[in-house]
Chains A and B, each alone.
Chain A
Amino acid sequence: MLITLPYVKRDTPIHRLDPRAKLLLLLAYGLAAAQTSNVWLILAGFVGAACYYGLARLKWSETRRAWLFIIFLNVILVFGNYFLSGGAIVQGIDLSHQHQLFSLPFLGFLNHPPYIGPKPLVFSVESITYMLTMGLRNFSIAFLAVAIPYTTNPGHIGVAFKQLGLPDQFAYAIDLSFRFLPTLARDFSVTLDAQRARGFELDKLRGGIFGRIARLAPLVVPIVIGSVVGAEDIVNAMELRCFGVGRRTWLTELQTRPVDRLLMALAMTVFLLVTVLNILGNFYTSGPLHILHEQGLPAFLLH
């Protein structure tokens, strides 16, 4: 049996939203936000997403684990990206005239063999702003994403995908995979405890990086084998009750309210608008139609 997502039963506007609206909002916003690095637009998105998350009235104690993981991931992504690219890869924005503040000696990609070598790591107004933008973007997407598992009745996930137009078996597979992660987390903690009882210490792994990975076998092997065997059991249990023999009914039927439809329309509009602007921005080098391709830094920062 699979464990469901950490749903927190509560009556808030976000809890009442149709899961389809929440999913669509996440998808549309994510795709829109990926198309710009304009700090003002991303900031607006961040504020909007934060308000949305605030409406869900989730407590820190309930979501702590998810957020710690997201913060960890985001820090790795943002800094990793910065150090790897020297802050030079900015979506659609011309960085040929950077306002450099200082630079540090560092490694970077070269355009001749051996392709990696010493290169100064530039800190400029643009690159630092970009780093912030990236962080804001990731967190705004996280606000929308984290709200979903905590505010959606786990029984409504599969049917939401079904009613978004996916075939029965796909929709059910998504339902199952949504529950796979929390189940994996439980198995992980059981195995970790079992191995700790045999003197295994995760924080004292010896050896180089590969040695360390090899020493994770006591955790990885039981979990992987367990998942494979578990999957087989699930398949058998489902087949014994005729899963996949033909069309199926879904007991739950989601019904949209006007507010759901409004939100979905809004999400789609924003996405389409941003996409059109993004395309048009390639033809105009300045002005409001070029806005997605600018960082939008105020002039005083650049002097």
Chain B
Amino acid sequence: MVTHPDNTRDASQDAPPAVAVKGLSFRYRALDEESPPAKKTRRAVPDSSAAGAEVEPQYAIRDISFSLAHGELLLIAGPSGCGKSTLLKCLNGLIPHTFRGELSGEILIEGRSAASMSLRERARYIGTMLQDPEKQIVGSTVEQEVAFGLENLNVPRAEIRRRIEAVLQRLHLEAYRQEATFALSGGQRQQVAAAGVLVMQPSIFLFDEPFANLDARAIDELEELINGLRAEGRAVIIVEHRVEETLKLRPDKVLLMRDGRQVFLGDGQSFLEVADPEQVKLPIEATLRRAAEPRQVVEQLVRPIVTRRAATTEAGTDGPVLVFQDVHYRYEADGEEILHGISFEVRRGETIALLGPNGAGKTTLVKQALGLLRPTAGAVFLYGEDTRKLSVAQLAARIGYVFQSPSAMLFAPTVQKELSFGPENLRFPPERLQRAVQRAAEALDVARFAERSPLSLSFGQQKRVSIASVLAMESRILLLDEPTAGQDYRSYISFMEHLRELPELDALLFITHDLDLALRYTQRVLLLKDGHLVADGAPLEVLADQTLLESCNLRPTSLLRYLLTEGSRSLA
């Protein structure tokens, strides 16, 4: 017999809050504390006890308290490393179940102490959506993914079928029931992952950075889901540094964390008044309201990058640096065509954003420039030379391409060696190599951890190392795939500012989902949809077209709306 806290809506007024957290602190156990104390005394190494005793591990979270009623939405905001994820793990039980450490304070779930609950019991109350649905999905088909939790709880087959049916219907996923999960698009994955949690009917939902990497349609669907959950009386907790998106959901409470402590707890409105626009991304209105000189703020925000070399050499004296000429591409001879005749030119000094919905062919397009994929028809010219005649390594010397995920490429024992890898492959003479590595390290501000292992760095730092290691090859054109994904607002802004200062670059092109990034940093936008180039022009020109945006799953941001109204006002 399976019971579940269904119909939470009926909870009477004096029912306990869905979640109450009182004075919660946690610190991860340091490695040498793992071994049982008995072993410690026997250790023969003389100075280990001396060294081990003193450094107390830092608290990951310290003294967190809040409570949340049924049907309420809590936003937990804060920069990377502020303890958001640790707090989430404390709530869903991975701490202390999987991650060991020192936990103090109290968590009450539906009025019951969580400390006495097993993971299984907790899962009946709390459903967790991990940051990356890719990591959450374990079933090989949609049906199996949704069934997984109920199967584990030994629910009878007929009951599982009934509940799957209901959930799939509710999320409009019936048509995908037998689809393989890996073949789904990003937005569908999120929905399927949500279905897998929803089917267990938890009364509290945790979302870990749900908006990262979704296009606008997927965000709309997710918002609809979250609003639906609240309407049913479920409590929702969202951890997110994309504050702007979450504030649209009108959270009842916002908890702001910094260095493991809670620095603010209150409603959305008062949050906007205290939040620092340098730390978290706020709606533009909130930023402007707080500024003395709104116009200046906008000018500060919107400053397209002009790559350096354009300033020194005279722009327009010679031909385009990169030309796509009617590029068609299909993966297999009898497969579907992915790119249908793409043509554009990149000129010296340009900074370009390549926008488009998930699956439009953006990465496929960029890979053509480097020869990682070769056009099935048409051609790509790099500095006037046909790329078909050049090997990938030869092309890599002229055009740098940084993959989206740094973990796909970082391997060396130290950052220094990581940076030298590319130049070594290109057989740079020692002097040039040293100079190139040093410059790249300085340009991306990674010189201070030159001797550390790149694998020990934070995600944002790894991202910078990965770009520096491509930059060290002294290529004149840089292609970046989602340069800001997975970084918090402050680190991605500082990162973009680093890019602005890069020396000796002819052109910069990046793939992104983030409209504000395109607006603030580029001179030109290429809009790709279903393998066609549907727009090419100045950011504000291209993005002013509402219907075009909608058809490409792009959603106007507050900054875009503001700039457009400002623009029309100044015209008037």
Contact = CB atoms under 8 A, between A and B. Distances in A.
A9 to B, nearest CB: 9
B455 A225 contact: yes
Contact of A199 (B137, B154, B397, B402): B397
Given A3-B182, A237-B136, A242-B123, A198 B409 contact: yes
Interface string B169-195: 000000000001110000001000000
A165 interface: no
A244 B123 CA distance: 13
A94 B519 CA distance: 81
A241 interface: yes
Chain B CB count within 10 A is highest, among A7, A176, A234, A245, for A245
A155 B142 CA distance: 10
A248 to B, nearest CB: 5
A239 B196 CA distance: 13
A154 B180 contact: yes
A154 B396 CA distance: 39
Interface string B101-113: 0000000000000
B134 A239 contact: no
Interface residues of A, number: 55
Interface string B529-567: 000000000000000000000000000000000000000
Contact of A239 (B94, B334, B421): B94
Contacts of B138: 1-2, 176, 234, 237-238
A240 interface: yes
Interface in A125-162: 153-155
A86 B486 CA distance: 58
A4 B120 CA distance: 28
B144 interface: yes
A11 interface: no
Nearest to A190: B408
A246 B120 CA distance: 10
Interface in B388-413: 391-393, 396-397, 400-403, 405, 407-412
A5 to B, nearest CB: 9
Interface-centre pick from A4, A175, A194, A243 (highest chain B CB count, 10 A): A194
A217 interface: yes
A194 B408 contact: yes
A61 interface: yes
Contacts of A225: 407, 455
Contact of B396 (A3, A197, A222, A243): A197
Given A4-B140, A248-B151, A217 B403 contact: no
B13 interface: no
B473 A222 contact: no
A242 B92 contact: no
Contacts of B367: 193
Nearest to A201: B393
A251 B370 contact: no
Interface string A239-262: 111111111111111000000000
B135 interface: yes
Contact of B422 (A4, A199, A220, A239): A199
B15 interface: no
A241 B181 contact: no
Most chain A CB atoms below 10 A, which of B181, B332, B409: B409
A187 B408 contact: yes
A154 B140 contact: yes
Contacts of A233: 130, 132, 135
Interface size class of B (residues with CB under 8 A): 35 or more
Given A237-B138, A239-B97, A61 B150 contact: no
B74 interface: no
B377 interface: no
Nearest to B426: A199
A294 to B, nearest CB: 46
Contacts of B157: 249, 251, 253
A186 to B, nearest CB: 9
B408 A226 contact: yes
Nearest to A225: B455
Nearest to B92: A240
B161 interface: yes
B152 interface: yes
B140 A2 contact: yes
A201 B392 CA distance: 9
A278 B151 CA distance: 45
A155 B409 contact: no
Nearest to A61: B334
A51 interface: no
Interface in B426-451: 426
A79 interface: no
A251 B144 contact: yes
A297 interface: no
B487 interface: no
B154 A196 contact: no
B180 A198 contact: no
Interface string A219-236: 111100110011001111
Contacts of A248: 151-154
Nearest to A157: B140
Nearest to B410: A222
B372 interface: yes
Interface in A1-22: 1-4, 7
26 contacts: A4-B180, A154-B140, A194-B408, A194-B409, A196-B392, A196-B393, A196-B396, A197-B401, A197-B470, A198-B409, A199-B422, A200-B421, A222-B411, A233-B132, A236-B130, A237-B130, A237-B137, A238-B138, A241-B149, A242-B152, A245-B152, A245-B153, A249-B151, A249-B155, A249-B160, A251-B161
Given A234-B138, A239-B98, A241-B196, 4 more contacts: A2-B140, A199-B473, A237-B136, A246-B120
What 4 pairs across the A-B complex have the smallest Cβ distances?
A199-B425, A221-B411, A241-B149, A198-B422
